[in-house]
Amino acid sequence: MIAILKYNGGNVSSVQNALNRLGAESIITDDFALIRKADKVIFPGVGEASSTMKILKEKGLDQLIPTLKQPVLGICLGMQLMCKNNEEGNTVGMGIFDCKVKKFPQLDLVPHMGWNTVSHLKWPLFSEISNEDDLYFVHSFYCELSENTTSVCDYILPFSASLQKDNFFATQFHPEKSGKVGNKMLENFLKI
């Protein structure tokens, strides 16, 4: 069973639909007991950092998430809130990943929206995925490169397209909206 975190953040249904296409059983929940006993946890996110963190704090999810022992996948804003801080709303994150989230400089169109490739791919999420495969992004803020970076995207500047530390995985791109390549990445996560 996969627990998809329920916290009034966007994109929850898209993630569940992607899991359904893969034949994976999931539940959308904010119940601590169900989350703790789930085989995997997915923390999707679309929205604004400070207001989302406020909701996570009200539900106690900001304290629960860093204590989880099973594989956890943060997506987009979920990834950004797993970092130590975010320039959007001057938000303090959960600190799972030791990197900062910054706003893209206005040197090109912001938000970064659409298909892009990633490089410097590290397993296990990118097994059978190449740096020629496109993934779908939509974001105005980016995670710095760090020791936790497992893939890099270059838009305006190089940034972390994905992160991993221990049992915590995260992607800036949306695997649930990235077609066959995104499905493969989700399959790889399910196999961890």
Active site residues: 76, 174, 176
Question: DSSP string of 78-143?
Answer: HHHHTEEEETGGGEE---SEEEEEEEPPSSS-SSEEEEEE-BS--TTTTTT--TTSEEEEEESEEE
Which uninterrupted H or E stretch holds 2? Answer: strand 2-5
135 forms beta bridges with 116
SS3 68: coil
∠ CA 13-15-18, rounded to 5°: 110
Per-residue tokens: 53: 């963190």
SS3 42: strand
∠ CA 162-122-71, rounded to 5°: 65
